[in-house]
């Protein structure tokens, strides 16, 4: 069975500061890993995905994530937070294309001016 753990249900950062959201997964097979963002009253939007091509994955809006197999982690970072980054972020794991995704508990990001 797959599972995803996101450390910290809430993260508060100052505008311009580093954003770091932590995600650890467990999977019995090489995983497909994703980060999604959910803005208030909206659906989920894909930020980035890891599918075994490169361990450092760049996504939209300046976000990137690094896959570390030895640590079973896929942490999300952005060097400089913007007010528009305030949202909820979900890490998700899948086993294969066409398969369901299992989501972490989510991390709500607050950006302070």
Partner 1 sequence: SAVISQKPSRDICQRGTSLTIQCQVDSQVTMMFWYRQQPGQSLTLIATANQGSEATYESGFVIDKFPISRPNLTFSTLTVSNMSPEDSSIYLCSVDVSANTGELFFGEGSRLTVL
Length of the chain: 113
Judged by CB under 8 A, the residue of 21, 37, 67, 104 near partner 1 is 104
CA distance 40 to 13: 18
CA distance 70 to 33: 15
For partner 1, the binding residues in 24-43 under the rule CB under 8 A are: 32, 34, 36, 41-43
Judged by CB under 8 A, the residue of 69, 100, 110, 112 near partner 1 is 100
**Shortest Å, Cβ 90 to partner 1:** 6
CA distance 61 to 66: 16
Stretch that binds partner 1, among 11-19, 56-64, 71-79, 94-102 (CB under 8 A): 94-102
**Shortest Å, Cβ 16 to partner 1:** 28
Judged by CB under 8 A, the residue of 51, 59, 62, 66 near partner 1 is 51
11's CB contacts (< 8 A; 6+ apart) are 19, 20, 21, 107, 108, 109, 110
> Rule CB under 8 A: is residue 103 a binding residue for partner 1?
yes
Give me the residues that bind partner 1 (CB under 8 A), please.
32, 34, 36, 41-46, 49, 51, 90, 94, 96-106
């Amino acid at each position: 069975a797959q599972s995803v753990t996101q450390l910290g249900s809430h993260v508060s950062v100052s505008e311009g500061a580093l954003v770091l959201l932590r995600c650890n997964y467990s999977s019995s097979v090489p995983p497909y890993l994703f980060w999604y963002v959910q803005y208030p009253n909206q659906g989920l939007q894909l930020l980035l995905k890891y599918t075994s091509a490169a361990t450092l994955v760049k996504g939209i809006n300046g976000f990137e994530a690094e896959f570390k197999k030895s640590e079973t982690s896929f942490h999300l970072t952005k060097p400089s937070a913007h007010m528009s980054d305030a949202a909820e972020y979900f890490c998700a794991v899948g086993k294969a294309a066409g398969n369901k995704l299992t989501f972490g508990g989510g991390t709500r990001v607050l950006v302070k001016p």
